[in-house]
Amino acid sequence: MKNLIYIFVLGLFIYSCSATKDRDFTKKEVTANANDTVRIANDSLEYEIIVIEPGFNLFINSIAKPRGYYSQSYLENKNKFLVQEYNSRVTQPFRYNPNLYIQEINYNGFVNYGYEVNYMLYNYFVFFSREYNQRFSVPTRI
């Protein structure tokens, strides 16, 4: 009876390995659904954020803190440090994964981008850190 269980587990293991046989792991292209693209814009100031990240739309609509939970000054202060850390990682491709840190974020802490842009940028960093298990060194007290 004990041998039968071992044979069953071994067969299950072999079957699960063969299930990946028809996948193409060499394909580098990632396609995004229309639901995975989020555009946030402040048209009066001509600023926008476009997030093309699978799962971000679900995160922002279900897991993220609701709009109004944080003040705009809180979000601006957090974004200053987060953008600085993120851009620092973009410039260090041998230390940090260049597939995660692709392009610098053009964010000026002295410009009023409005609540919505700051809210979405902050929540993108929260999503990014959870999704890719990244830690940013941001002071808790500002």
Give per-residue pLDDT as tens, 57-84: 888 888 889 888 999 999 999 999 999 9
Residue 112 has pLDDT above 50, yes or no: yes
**Residue 104 lies inside a defined structural domain of this protein:** yes
CA nearest neighbour of 107 among 85, 131, 74, 139: 85
What pLDDT band is residue 137 in, cutting at 50, 70 and 90?
Answer: confident
In a domain, 95, yes or no: yes
Beta bridge partners of 42: 47
pLDDT score, position 24: 47
Whether 138 is in a domain gets the answer: no
Residue 6 located in a structural domain: no
What was the pLDDT predicted at 140? 53
Distances (CA, A) of 105 to 16, 35, 119: 41, 22, 15
- Residue position matching structure tokens 């093309």: 52
Q: Is 88 exposed, middle or buried (0-12, 13-18, 19+ CB in 10 A)?
A: middle
Give the integer Cα–Cα distance in Å for 114 and 9. 57
Task: Report how many domains make up the chain.
Answer: 1
Q: For 95, phi and psi rounded to 5 degrees?
A: -95, -35
Res. 11 pLDDT band, cuts 50 70 90: low
pLDDT by residue (tens digit) across 12-63? 556 566 544 444 444 444 444 445 555 555 555 567 777 778 888 888 888 8
Mind listing the pLDDT tens digit for each residue in 88-106?
999 998 998 888 888 888 8
Q: Which domain holds residue 65?
A: 26-131
- Give pTM, 2 decimals: 0.66
Question: Is residue 16 situated within a structural domain?
Answer: no
Q: Give 114-130 pLDDT, tens digit per residue.
A: 898 899 999 999 998 99
Tokens of 71: 């003040």
**Secondary structure element (H or E) that encloses residue 51, with its range:** strand 47-52
- Is 20 contained in some domain? no
**Does residue 136 sit within a domain?**
no
142 lies in some domain: no
